[in-house]
Homo-oligomer: A and B are copies of this chain.
Amino acid sequence: MKVLTTIAEFKKARRRIDSTVGFVPTMGYLHEGHLVLVRRAKVENEVAVASIFVNPTQFGPKEDFARYPRDPERDLDLLKKEETDLVFMPSAGEMYPEGCSTWVDVLKVTERLEGASRPGHFRGVATVVAKLFNIVEPTRAYFGQKDAQQVVVVRKMAADLNMNLEVVVVPTHREPDGLAMSSRNVYLDLQERQSALVVWQSLNLAQQLWSQGERKAEILRQQMTDLIRKEPLARIDYISIANPETLEELTEIKQPALVSLSVYVGKTRLIDNITLRK
């Protein structure tokens, strides 16, 4: 496994590769969910590349950039065990040198949900992903369904800008009790970890109501709200039942629907989602 920290070095290594490249962009502090993406990249491509970069531009000024968990040594050990071929691990200065001023903006699908709760977040995501795609030039890039809106934004950007790669979305990897894996789960203390389960439980409730024939989005939203409100440590940021591609809110669920939510558990903001489909 080769670890490269500059864009020039990575591009030089990339030019020597003439086969398919699977790419897993990460912010490090890897968990099993990331490793599932790497395994998938390895299976489907001749070369597997991962990046580790806590992207400052996707964090708001009051968000957790400074305290976002980092453990590059452990990350590299894990990637090595998965037989990752190349790891790109640049500094912030390497990715955003003095004076850089170009941004990729995906409009409409970024207006609501995470985009509304985290202004500027998706501009940062789209820009860094566009940069990473140009540096890595992947055949396929792998993203987890846990970040549902990110998946929509990256797909839209790749399609709108005619990028030459396939965006592959991998189902959310969960702890045995259902909590979606996330690097931010480390922020939870024992009591919060228990309370956090209500996020998954509320999604299960939506799934159950839908399976029983309920098609009114408002009913699902209300029942989820009621369930989460019973959990004293949890505070709802948003609950959404939306078209999975446009992210427009639905009133009647006549088509596949993305049920997504953001909940604060203590000070930690968690997100999760499921798709309802026949």
Contacts and interface: CB of A to CB of B under 8 A. Distances in A.
A91 B99 CA distance: 35
B162 A134 contact: yes
Interface in A104-149: 104-109, 126-127, 130-131, 134-135, 137
A7 interface: yes
A160 B99 CA distance: 9
B106 A105 contact: no
A130 B104 CA distance: 10
Given A102-B105, A102-B126, 15 more contacts: A99-B108, A101-B106, A101-B109, A102-B104, A102-B156, A102-B157, A102-B160, A104-B104, A104-B105, A105-B105, A130-B161, A131-B160, A131-B162, A134-B161, A137-B164
Contacts of A109: 101
Q: Point out which of A101, A162, A163 has the most chain B C-beta atoms below 10 A from its C-beta.
A: A162
A100 interface: yes
27 contacts: A7-B162, A101-B106, A101-B108, A101-B156, A101-B160, A102-B104, A102-B105, A102-B126, A102-B156, A102-B157, A102-B160, A102-B161, A103-B104, A103-B105, A103-B107, A104-B104, A104-B105, A104-B161, A105-B105, A127-B161, A130-B161, A131-B160, A131-B162, A134-B161, A134-B163, A135-B162, A137-B164
A184 interface: no
Contacts of A103: 104-105, 107
A68 B31 CA distance: 55
Closest 9 A/B residue pairs (Cβ): A102-B160, A101-B107, A134-B162, A100-B160, A101-B108, A102-B106, A103-B105, A131-B162, A135-B162
A11 interface: yes
A159 B105 CA distance: 17
Nearest to A95: B162
A131 B7 contact: no
Contacts of A7: 162
Q: Point out which of A104, A107, A157, A246 has the most chain B C-beta atoms below 10 A from its C-beta.
A: A104
A244 B151 CA distance: 39
A100 B162 CA distance: 11
Contacts of A246: 99
